[in-house]
Amino acid sequence: MPESEAYITVCQLMRTHGVKGYIKAMPLTHDLNRHASLKNVLLKKTNGEEVELELEDSKLANTLWLLKFKGYDTPESLVHFVNGDIMIPESERLPAPEGEYYLDDLEGFRVHTEDGRDVGKVLEVQELPTVNAFHIQFDAEFQGEFSTKSILAPWIGDCVKQIDEEGRFILCDADYLRALCPEVRE
């Protein structure tokens, strides 16, 4: 697997299962049947070590996956894999379902207001306990109206009106954004 390519995590390994070398995994993908198309994967162990693995077998067990790696035939051989992440090249990632987005794909999107102005950019999308939020930095010419500091804008209908993947922008309510800004306005 080429080192220069970015990787994404598709599941987290949990605990061994049975005596034939299977390990339970928590899928981190929208497609529970994704395990069937996995072949060569990269394991990132909890100590940071990375190991290339080949999937020998996989099964769906309720909402978990049971994975069997080639050359690992006993529970003891898998103990050091527990809590590790199974990763694949980003190029093998499945497209997001209609109307859904991968959060990291929205980074770098521009921020537009409903009156058509392009006022800033999305630095990242953060998963907060109650809501996802866009970390927004306003362009210099709009910092007087909004903020010189970056803000977190919640991904809710009152704030984010539309996401345009083709145009690579999010459409936001300007009044809502202003209310989130830390500076005191006259």
Read off the pLDDT of residues 93-120 as tens digits, 9 standing for 90 and up: 888 778 778 788 899 999 999 999 999 9
Chain centre distance of CA 164: 18
What pLDDT is recorded for position 110?
Answer: 97
> Average pLDDT, whole number, for the chain?
91
More confident residue, 156 or 182: 156
For the chain, the helix, strand and coil percentages under 3-state DSSP, each to the nearest 5: 15, 40, 40
What pLDDT is recorded for position 145?
Answer: 93
- Report which of 82, 146, 88, 135 is spatially closest to residue 108, judged by C-alpha positions: 135
Task: Give the tens place of pLDDT for each residue, 46-84.
Answer: 999 999 999 999 999 999 999 999 999 999 999 999 999
Poorest-pLDDT segment among 28-37, 71-80, 151-160: 28-37
Q: Are 112 and 170 in contact (CB under 8 A)?
A: yes
What pLDDT is recorded for position 93?
Answer: 84
Averaged pLDDT, 84-96: 88
d(CA 26, CA 23): 10
End-to-end, the C-alpha distance of the chain in Å comes to 57
**pLDDT over threshold 60, residue 184:** no
Q: Provide the CATH topology of domain 7-92.
A: Elongation Factor Tu (Ef-tu); domain 3 (2.40.30)
What pLDDT is recorded for position 113?
Answer: 97
Sorted by where each begins, the domain ranges of the chain are 7-92, 103-180
Is there a common fold for 7-92 and 103-180? no
Take residue 129 and report the two structure tokens written for it: 């306990």
CATH class of 103-180: mainly beta
> DSSP string covering 76-121, please?
HHHGGGTT-EEEEEGGGPPPPPTT---GGGGTT-EEEETTS-EEEE
